Chain A
Amino acid sequence: MSEVQRRKYSQEEKNTIFDGEFMPHIDSMYNFAYRLTFDEDDAKDLVQDTYLKAYRFINSFEQGTNAKAWLFRILKNSFINEYRKKSKQPAKVDYQEVETYYNSDDVDYQSTTDLRAESVKGMLGDEISNALNSLAVDFRTVIILCDLEGFTYEEMAKILDIPIGTVRSRLHRARNLLKDKLRGYAHHMGYDTDEEEEI
C-alpha cells in the first residue's frame, strides 16, 4: 500500500468502518478470489489477508468513499504479489502473445461473426463459467470486475492501476476471447452457428 496515511481514526471509528463498510463486501470478495485462484482454501486465505491488510491500513481509507473498489484493489495486488506464484491453476496463455494476436482487426471480426445471441442464451451456467475461467487472468479479471461486479471503467482503472483506455481495449479483447470460447462450446454442443451450416 502506497497511500499516505491521512487520517487517524479512533478504535470505535475503525470498528464502524470495518463492520459497516468493509465486511458487507465479503461475498463479492470471496467470489473474485475464487475466480482468481480456483481453490477454496487459497480464496479463503486471499480474502482473509485482504481484510487484515485493509484493517492495518484503515487510516488511508476515507470513510464513506468507495470501499468495495478499495478492497478489490488490495485483493488484486495481494493476488499478484503473493498468490500468483504458488497458484494451482493450470498453465496460462501468455498474455503478450494473446494481446498481439488480438490487435489484428481481421481476427477481431472474423473470429466472432458466427456466434449468435440465441446460441449464447441457450447455454448452461457451467459452459459460461468454464469459458470465463479458461481466460488468462488479466482478461478474466476485467470481465469479472465489469460484468459480474458492475464496476465502472474509472473504478476498474483504479483497481488495476492502468489507464481507462487500457481498460476499454483489454475488455474488448477479453470479450472477443470469451466469444471464441463460447463459439467453441456452441459448435461442440451442436448449437446453430454459421460454420456448422457450411459443413
Chain B
Amino acid sequence: MDMNEETSQSRKLKCDDTSKCFQLLESILDGEMDNSKEVLKEKLAKCQPCFEHFHLEQAIRDVLKTRCTKQEVPTELADCIRQKIQDIK
C-alpha cells in the first residue's frame, strides 16, 4: 500500500468519532469489510488519528504474525494420539 506517501497537511488532526472509526479500520485490516479500499483511502487521506491508528494496528498484526514464534510440537505427540486412537477402535 502506498498510503505512506500521502502528505499529512490535508488531514484533520482530530477524529470526530475515534471509537467508531478505529473499529471500522480494524475490521478492514481483518479482511471483514467489502469494498473497503475506497473507505480506507478516504479515511487515511483525511484524518490524522485514523492514519496513525491504521499503521499502528498494521504494525502490531505484522509483528504478531512474524515474531510470535510457533511453539515446537513435541515429536511424540502425533504418535501418542494415533496409539490412543488404535486402543479405542
Contacts and interface: CB of A to CB of B under 8 A. Distances in A.
A18 B85 contact: yes
B88 A52 contact: yes
B74 to A, nearest CB: 6
Interface in A43-65: 43-44, 47-48, 51-52, 55-56
Which 9 residue pairs of A and B lie closest in terms of their CB atoms, listed nearest first? A125-B67, A117-B59, A117-B55, A120-B59, A34-B71, A105-B19, A30-B73, A147-B64, A109-B18
A178 interface: yes
A183 to B, nearest CB: 10
Nearest to B89: A11
Contacts of B68: 125, 128-129, 132, 148
Given A11-B89, A30-B77, A105-B18, A148 B65 contact: yes
Nearest to B60: A120
Nearest to A178: B60
B77 A128 contact: no
Interface residues of B, number: 38
A193 B88 CA distance: 58
Given A30-B71, A128-B63, A148-B64, 4 more contacts: A26-B78, A55-B88, A56-B88, A109-B22
22 contacts: A26-B78, A31-B71, A40-B74, A44-B74, A48-B77, A52-B84, A52-B85, A56-B88, A109-B19, A115-B56, A121-B62, A125-B63, A125-B69, A128-B68, A132-B64, A146-B30, A147-B61, A147-B65, A152-B31, A153-B32, A171-B26, A175-B57
